Structure 1
C-alpha cells in the first residue's frame, strides 16, 4: 500500500494540471489528459535533458562494463598481486557516499586549485575548465561515474569468471586457441548472464543520473549536464506537480525500454 498508492497517485497527477498551490484546494485541479506529455516533447529544456541522459547512458554503460571486465579479468588471471587489497580498493567508491565523491571530484577538476590541472601544469599543459566548459562537463561526469561504479560490476564479473571451469581453457589451449580467442569464444559467452545483469542495473542507475550534476555543476553550464531526473526535480521545486509527474513516467518508460533492449541483446540465445 505504501508503494502502490503513491505510484498510482502520481500517474493520476500526470494527467492533471496540478500545481503546488492546488494542495489546499485539490478539487480545483483540472483533468488535462495527455497534455503534459505533449508539452514535454515541445519543451526544449526537457529535450536537452533527455539528450544529455542518452549520451550519459550510451557512453557510460559500455565504458563501465569494459573497465569492470578488464579489472576482473586482471584480478582473476593473477596479473595483479595483493588481489584482495585491490578488490577492496576498487569497490570502496561504490560504498562511499555519492555526495562526498562528487564534492571531492569537483575540487579535483577545479581549474584553479584542482589536482588534475595542477599536474597537467607541471607537464607544461594548460588544463581546461573541466566542469565549466559545455563541451567537457558531461564527459567529466561520465568519467567520474565510471570510476565510481565499475567496482560493483567488477565483483560480479570476478565471481562469474571464477565459476568458469579451467578445463575449458586448457582444452582450447591444446587446440591452439590464443588468449583473445579464449576470451571471445569461452569467457564472453559464459559471462552473458553476468553481463546482462550488469548492463541492466547500470543502465537503470545511469538513466536516473541526479546527484552528480546536482553537486558538481547544478545542471550547467548552459544545461550541458542537465539530466531528466534533475529536470523532474526542478519542476517539482517550481510547483509543477502534474508536469513533473508526466516527465517521471516518461523516464520510467525509457527505463523499461532500455531493459527490454538489453535483454534482447544479451539474453539467452538458442544458437
Structure 2
C-alpha cells in the first residue's frame, strides 16, 4: 500500500518537474513584465527619474482622449485586410502543393523564403522597390500606368505597407496549413476520388474541416499581428503620412517624449485589446476536435 502511494505521488510530481523550467521562464519573462508595465502605467514616470508619482488612471484617460489613438487603430484595418488576404492566398498555395505538383518542393522553398529574411532588411529592400522611379514604377510603365508616390501618398502608403506584410508572412501561414493538410489520412482522398469528387469538393468536405483549428489559430495570429505591427512601417516610413501604428505611437511616447507611464498604459491597452479579440473569436468560433474517418 505504501509503495503504491509513493508511485502515485511520483506520477503526480513527474509532469510538474518537466514543466518547472518553462513555467519559470514564462512567469519571469511574460507575467512579471506585464505586471510591472501595469504598475508603470499608474505613474508619471519619465523613464529616467528615480521617483515615480502615482497618478491612478490619469494615463488611461489621457490616452482615450487623444484623437490620434483612433487613427492608429484605423491604420490597423489595412493590415487586418492584408492578413485576411494572406490567409486566403496561403491556404490556396498549401492546398495546391499538398497534391502531386511538379517542383512543389521548389515552390515551397520560394514561398517560405521571405519569412526567413530579417524584417529590417525587408524594409530597406522595399524602400527601393517603392521609391519614385523604382522597381514598381518601372513595371507599372510597362503596362501604361502612371507612377505614384507609394510611400508619400497618405491614400496609398498603408496599402503598400500592408502588401509588404502579406509578402513576408504568407509563407509562414502556408507552412502551417501544409502541415495540417498532410496530417489528414490519405485514404479519405482516395475514397473521395472513387466517389467522383473533384479538387474543390475535396477541399470543401475534407481539407477545410480537417484543418479548422489551424485556420482558427492563423486568424488569431493575424488579428494580433495587425494590431501590433511595428518593423515594416517603422523602417520604411517612421510612421509618417498617416502610417503610424499603435506600437510606433507607444515607442515614440516612451523614448521621444519620455512618457514611460503613458506608453505603459498604451501597451497595456494593446494587450487587453488582443486578449479581448482572442476571447471573442474563441466564443464565436469555438475550437472543436476534428475527427475525420
TM-score normalised by the chain length of structure 1: 0.89
User: Structure 2 matches for 1:70-89, cutoff 5 A?
Assistant: 70-79=92-101, 81-89=102-110
Match of 1:31 among 32, 41, 54: 54
Q: Do the aligned residues in 2 keep the contact of 1:195 with 1:266 (CA within 8 Å)?
A: no
User: In the alignment, what sits opposite 1:186?
Assistant: 206
- Structure of greater Rg: 2
User: In the alignment, what sits opposite 2:266?
Assistant: 247
List gaps (5 residues or longer) in structure 1. none
3-state SS of paired residue (1:262):
helix
Task: Please tell me whether residue 159 in structure 1 is matched to residue 179 in structure 2.
Answer: yes
Match of 2:66 among 32, 35, 43: 43
List gaps (5 residues or longer) in structure 2. 1-26
3-state SS of paired residue (1:243):
helix
Structure 1 residues 90 and 242, CA gap change in structure 2 (3 angstroms): same
Q: Do the aligned residues in 2 keep the contact of 1:13 with 1:245 (CA within 8 Å)?
A: yes
Deviations 1:182-209 (A, max 9, x none): 2222211111121122222333233210
Q: Supply the distance in 2 between the matched residues of 1:174 and 1:194 (Cα, whole angstroms).
A: 28
Task: Please tell me whether residue 260 in structure 1 is matched to residue 285 in structure 2.
Answer: no
3-state SS of paired residue (2:150):
coil
User: In the alignment, what sits opposite 2:46?
Assistant: 19
Match of 2:253 among 211, 226, 235: 235
Q: Supply the distance in 2 between the matched residues of 1:65 and 1:25 (Cα, whole angstroms).
A: 47
Q: Do the aligned residues in 2 keep the contact of 1:72 with 1:154 (CA within 8 Å)?
A: yes
Structure 1 residues 115 and 139, CA gap change in structure 2 (3 angstroms): same
User: In the alignment, what sits opposite 1:96?
Assistant: 117
User: Structure 2 matches for 1:134-153, cutoff 5 A?
Assistant: 134-153=154-173
TM-score normalised by the chain length of structure 2: 0.83
Task: Please tell me whether residue 124 in structure 1 is matched to residue 144 in structure 2.
Answer: yes
Structure 1 residues 253 and 220, CA gap change in structure 2 (3 angstroms): same
Match of 1:60 among 82, 95, 103: 82
Count of matched residue pairs: 262
Measured after TM superposition, the shift of residue 265 of structure 1 is: 4.2
